[in-house]
Structure 1
């Protein structure tokens, strides 16, 4: 599902929701999950355990002129079910895009994973002129779900 300011992808992964959440809630694992190629490494980030936490990632992309850092402000947390964060250039307040992971158990070893990239709250006209949203495609989000499936299966 997608609209003009949001892309959502869903996949059923053969793993328990708790195991998937364990991978998603550790920022150090995000480089291996990232289907966009922007995430390079974790700069600072303990395991996510609550809304209000912030983790910082080292990134790289032509849209930002090369290497840069982002602060990711955790806005949603429900252990085993929901993880969401708003991303901002390091040291700034989030300008309005967020990443949402929703996990719906389908049994003890199967979980429907929904991943949403939402930039609907971006209102800064200068930013909208500078950045061509979406920066990440549906195909890259699908790739991220494939990488997550491989990460939890140990493959």
Structure 2
């Protein structure tokens, strides 16, 4: 896989990008599973460097809140973990109903294939996301996030 994220077809109304990172799967999973470290991962520029509330390690059903800022307006969201499998997948549901999903698969003892997905397929009007351009905006954020993640482990 290339040094930059590549698009992955994950189905309608989903935006996925994938990259291979030079780090063991457990190390990357530990970073994503700790919501207090999410500002370190953020490539979108929306996650502020304010305290995150929630557990130190996510699990299915866990809730966590993150301070964010978009278009100059600060806000706070609380998400709920909808899927969790150690060293494999973490997914959480945003209050508006879309989901953020991280999938990890070990390529070798020292490299991991990481896929991040913005899934808006369960929304009542998923086309609205596309009309306002949030599918493309989130694709750009995912690419920046995965690029920064990969750069951490060069």
- Scaled by the length of structure 2, the TM-score of the pair is 0.82
Alignment of 1:67 onto 2:68: no
2:83 maps to 76
1:145 maps to 146
Alignment of 1:56 onto 2:65: yes
CA distance in 2, matches of 1:100, 1:79: 13
CA 1:76–1:42 in structure 2 vs 1: closer, same or farther (change >3 Å)?
farther
Aligned mate of 1:46, from 55, 60, 74: 55
Structure 2 spans left out of the alignment, 5+ residues: 1-7
**Could you tell me how far 1:66 is from its partner in structure 2?**
0.5
Structure 1 spans left out of the alignment, 5+ residues: 89-94
Contact 2:22/2:110 (<8 A) preserved: yes
The alignment covers a number of residue pairs equal to: 142
1:92 maps to none
1:113 maps to 114
CA distance in 2, matches of 1:61, 1:81: 30
CA distance in 2, matches of 1:81, 1:43: 23
What is the alpha-carbon root mean square deviation over aligned residues? 2.2
**Could you tell me how far 1:135 is from its partner in structure 2?**
6.9
CA distance in 1, matches of 2:53, 2:69: 16
Describe the SS at the equivalent of 2:52: strand
- Scaled by the length of structure 1, the TM-score of the pair is 0.81
CA distance in 2, matches of 1:53, 1:135: 29
